[in-house]
Amino acid sequence: MKKSKILVSGALILSMLAVSFTGCEKKEQTGGSHSSQTEYKYGKIDIPGKDGALCGAPIYIAYENGYFAEEGFDVNLISADFETRKIGLNNGTIPIVNGDFQFFPSIEEGIDVKVVDGLHNGCIKLVVLPDSDIKTASDLKGKKIGVDEIGGTPHQVASVWVENAGISALPEDNEVTFLPFSDGNLELEALYNGDIDVAAMWDPLGSVSEKEGKTKVIFDLATAPDFAGKYCCFLYASNKLIKENPEEVAALLRAYRKAQNWISENPEKAVDIIISGKYSQIEDKELAIELLKSYEYPSTAAREGNEHNIADDVYYFATALHDIGYLKTEPKEFEESYFYDVDAALGK
């Protein structure tokens, strides 16, 4: 298999959710139906929760259902650019973000974080026109593939997929061509117009277009054999905060886990909250429920039964990226260096 190299874009974690601490105070909690006068143990935090990603459901549910407040955080949902997140993670003012394995190369490049938990399974689709002859990765040789950005997760996923089929993802080899689009709707228009052969997309756009009969899905990150049953998205905590206050990280993880469990047990109610709150660009409730179920957010019972090994998933994706040249660090070394079991460290 040919080795590929990647330049990780400055926007490489646009799909991620960031959190920043600004001190403890007494004030009214702003989110959902849980407003009350509360003294928050860990103070006010800002969480970017306006990116429109359906798979970011735990952040919306933890906010709306009051799980952040229960764990001592006064949350305000905001937006934040990449540079703010990067600086915040390094200095500890941003304690935690969620993102996919696309983040692994950036860790090598100096963002001081560790993987502390898994969030959900796959949320990326590759779609083609309904009458396309493209069915498998082997059919992609010589084709043009649309992505949101070079170095982004759809680009990495598609690269792994074609490389596993023996096709080089290197630009200089001209076996596949990746074309970036800043907007998913523009990417779909390029597909409809024949400017690209395949669109690699975040949910829900690819699934929506398929349901409308405009495309067909040839790859689903949640079910494809190379990726099925594995977390594609993780929670990353600032190493500075891990060293200085691991209990704070543990409290955030509890809030996320409460939300994950609630979503796994109440996908229909979760979708109602997401659609009514306009947290994601999807209005089709039936499709949204189907997608949320496909992400397999871990329930409390699944966690207690150790049904998912996070370290193994980190190793798996580190291996996939290393094998095609996206990571320099040996996979086992990467797992051991950058996965941190908060519960085990705290003896829980």
pLDDT in tens, 184-213: 999 999 999 999 999 999 988 899 999 999
Do 117 and 244 fall within a single domain?
A: yes
Most confident of 68-82, 202-216, 258-272: 258-272
pLDDT mean over 14-19: 35
How many other C-beta atoms can be found within 10 angstroms of the C-beta atom of residue 117?
A: 25
Kindly provide the b/e burial profile for residues 237-271, where b requires at least 16 CB atoms within 10 angstroms of the residue's own CB. bbbbbbeeebebbbbbbbbbbbbbbbbbeebeebb
CATH number, position 210: 3.40.190.10
Distance (Å, rounded) from C-alpha 23 to C-alpha 74?
10
Strands 143-147 and 176-180, sheet pairing: parallel
What mean pLDDT, rounded, does the chain reach?
85
* C-alpha distance across the termini of the chain, in Å: 43
Distance (Å, rounded) from C-alpha 189 to C-alpha 192?
5
Lowest mean pLDDT among 109-118, 213-222, 297-306, 336-345: 297-306
275 has pLDDT over 80: yes
Q: Which pLDDT does position 76 carry in this prediction?
A: 80
Do 199 and 261 fall within a single domain?
A: no
Distance (Å, rounded) from C-alpha 320 to C-alpha 332?
12
Q: Is residue 66 part of a domain?
A: yes
| Domains: count for the chain | 2
Half-sphere exposure of 329 (CA within 13 A, CB side): 19
Most confident of 14-18, 122-126, 253-257, 306-310: 253-257
Do 215 and 245 fall within a single domain?
A: no
pTM of the predicted model as reported, rounded to 2 decimal places: 0.82
Do 315 and 185 fall within a single domain?
A: no
Residue 187 DSSP SS3:
helix
Return the percentage of the chain with pLDDT > 90, whole number.
Answer: 58
Cβ atoms of residues 221 and 124 within 8 Å: yes
Q: Which pLDDT does position 12 carry in this prediction?
A: 35
